[in-house]
Amino acid sequence: MVKWTDEERKVINNIFSNLDYDDIGPKALRRCLVVYPWTQRHFSSFGDLSSPAAIMKNAKVAAHGVKVLHGLDRALKNMDNIKATYTELSILHSEKLHVDPDNFRVLADCLTITIAAKMGDSFTAATQAIFQKFLCVVVSALGRQYH
């Protein structure tokens, strides 16, 4: 089981309590779709994704970005049991959505970049290391039900 120090818990809770989900969620998912265009294949029902500009103003992408970011609340509220927390979502992404689990990491990286841009100097290397650990645990949990 992953262990968290008080300092790690504090830093992670601090990031999330200052997080504007409606701003960061859409930005992170848009970045993922632009920078890693193969991820677009899962969103063919979302309408126009034909250019970065189209992705930027796509309302379905924005709404889904908020939903995905809120998906991390489960980890935050269950820090000591993240793996089990994501069993259902892992099965959904594997068996129903057929999302390649490598894509969890690329989205996580896009989220890190988006948060770094927002937090500026206060997103220190030490803060990034802790946030990275958190995302790694989530990504690993989401990939757990793949066979």
Chain positions contacting ligand ZNH, by CB under 6 A: 39, 42, 64, 67-68, 71-72, 89, 93, 97, 99, 103-104, 107-108, 138, 142
- Closest approach of ligand ZNH to the CB of residue 121, in Å: 26
- Closest approach of ligand ZNH to the CB of residue 40, in Å: 8
Distance of alpha carbon 40 from alpha carbon 32, whole angstroms: 9
124: amino acid identity, one letter: T
Q: What is the DSSP letter of 2?
A: -
For ligand ZNH, the closer CB: 7 or 44: 44
**Residue with nearest beta carbon to ligand ZNH:** 71
Q: What is the DSSP letter of 100?
A: -
For ligand ZNH, the closer CB: 64 or 133: 64
**Residue in the block written with tokens 């988006």:** 114
**Residue in the block written with tokens 């989530």:** 138
- Closest approach of ligand ZNH to the CB of residue 17, in Å: 18
Of 138, 143, 144, 142, give the one whose Cα is nearest residue 77: 138
